[in-house]
């Protein structure tokens, strides 16, 4: 097997024996983990005397050989050992003609590790961001359509949002209209392997098993509210199609708890789209205005449509009604 894979890392931090102090700290941590999990382990790999064992705290203990009878013990923690709870809200800033997305990110009390990354699957243009504090950094990866915040605090002891805690003030400004998009969260996927200066590449089949396991457990995904629909070029028919897709997704997610109501909203959007395609913009606008009134009534009742679904539907409909006869440029 080629030895071209880089040491496993997260947020640009490579967890290797970079100093005597860190080496000693991780060795002590490894010993404590081994003792704590001696009676709560599940073997997931066992070949030729080398093993990978899942521990009760979500970490994995690895026993491996290095071309001799000597047995070494290492460990790693995959990135999906968090349980995110994300709340989002969005308002339109008319002074800047931008949508302001505000996120409250929590890590539920059952989580095993601190949440250190929070991301959104979106290729949206971002004009401005605000982080909770200076230890969080915003990153944007256009090619992979990712917007994410990464915790850049202390090395091992202080790595993000603790179980049972929440953090406010993840805020971004974008011209993109709100949609239901995918998000993800993760903890720092740390590792420690004694006497492997080049990482686990030299461990052959065992290394491939570990890489595959870590890749499959790299993050926790979920659906949330975020910038997803570009406002230009102005295409009201396409925006209505996207809204119909959002309604179906909202029903599936339980954001619209009444399927009959979801079908009704979808039919109203389809009727409005039909009027547009036949050239009757006036009727299309009237249909959207009536639907907006119905949504406002549902918002006051607060029973069948979640706040996130309200944001997606109402802000997109408002945008269409405002620009149907005066397209943005």
Over the stretch 182-215, which tens digit does the pLDDT of each residue have?
999 999 888 888 888 777 888 899 999 999 999 9
The pLDDT tens digits along the chain (329 residues) read: 433 343 333 333 222 222 333 344 444 444 454 444 444 689 999 998 899 999 999 999 999 988 766 889 999 999 999 999 999 999 999 999 999 999 999 999 999 999 999 999 999 999 999 999 988 999 998 777 899 999 986 554 567 999 999 999 999 999 999 999 999 999 988 888 888 877 788 889 999 999 999 999 999 999 999 999 898 899 999 999 999 999 999 999 999 999 999 999 999 999 999 999 999 999 999 999 999 999 999 988 778 999 999 999 999 999 999 999 999 88
Residues 6+ apart with CB under 8 A from 139: 146, 147, 148, 149, 150
116-139 pLDDT, tens digit each: 999 999 999 999 999 999 889 999
Query: CA-CA distance, 250 to 252, in Å (whole number)?
Result: 5
The model carries a pTM of 0.82
> Distances from the Cα of 193 to the Cαs of 41, 94, 96, 206, 281, in angstroms?
19, 54, 51, 13, 66
DSSP assigned state of 7: P
Return d(Cα 267, Cα 182) in angstroms, integer: 25
Rg, Å, the chain Cα set: 25
Please state, in angstroms and rounded to a whole number, the distance separating the CA atoms of residues 318 and 288. 9
The closest of 246, 239, 242, 276 to 262, measured between CA atoms, is 246
């Amino acid at each position: 097997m080629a030895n071209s894979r880089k040491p496993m890392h997260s947020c640009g931090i490579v967890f290797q024996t970079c100093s005597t102090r860190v080496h000693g700290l991780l060795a002590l941590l490894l010993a404590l983990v081994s003792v704590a999990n001696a009676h709560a382990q599940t073997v997931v790999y066992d070949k030729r005397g080398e093993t990978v064992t899942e521990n009760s705290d979500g970490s994995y203990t690895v026993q491996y050989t290095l071309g001799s009878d000597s047995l070494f013990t290492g460990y790693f923690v995959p990135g999906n050992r968090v349980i995110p709870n994300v709340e989002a809200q969005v308002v339109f800033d008319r002074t800047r003609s931008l949508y302001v997305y505000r996120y409250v990110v929590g890590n539920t009390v059952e989580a095993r590790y601190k949440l250190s990354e929070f991301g959104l699957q979106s290729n949206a243009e971002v004009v401005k961001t605000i982080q909770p504090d200076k230890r969080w950094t915003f990153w944007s990866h256009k090619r992979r359509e990712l917007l994410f915040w990464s915790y850049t605090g202390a090395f091992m002891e202080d790595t993000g949002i603790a179980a049972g805690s929440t953090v406010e003030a993840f805020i971004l400004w974008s011209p993109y209209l709100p949609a239901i998009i995918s998000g993800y969260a993760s903890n720092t996927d740390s590792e420690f392997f004694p006497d492997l200066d080049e990482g686990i590449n030299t461990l052959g089949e065992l290394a491939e098993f570990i890489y595959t396991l870590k890749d499959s457990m790299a993050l926790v995904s979920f659906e949330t509210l975020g910038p997803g629909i570009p406002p230009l070029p102005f295409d009201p028919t396409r925006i209505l199609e996207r809204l119909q897709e959002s309604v179906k997704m909202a029903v599936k997610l339980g954001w619209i708890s009444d399927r009959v109501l979801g079908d009704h909203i979808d039919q109203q959007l389809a009727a409005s789209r039909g009027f547009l395609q036949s050239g009757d913009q006036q009727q299309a606008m009237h249909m959207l205005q009536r639907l907006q009134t119905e949504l406002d009534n549902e918002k006051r009742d607060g029973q069948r449509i979640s706040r996130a679904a309200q944001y997606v539907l109402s802000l997109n409909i408002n945008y269409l009604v405002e620009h149907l006869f005066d397209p943005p440029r």
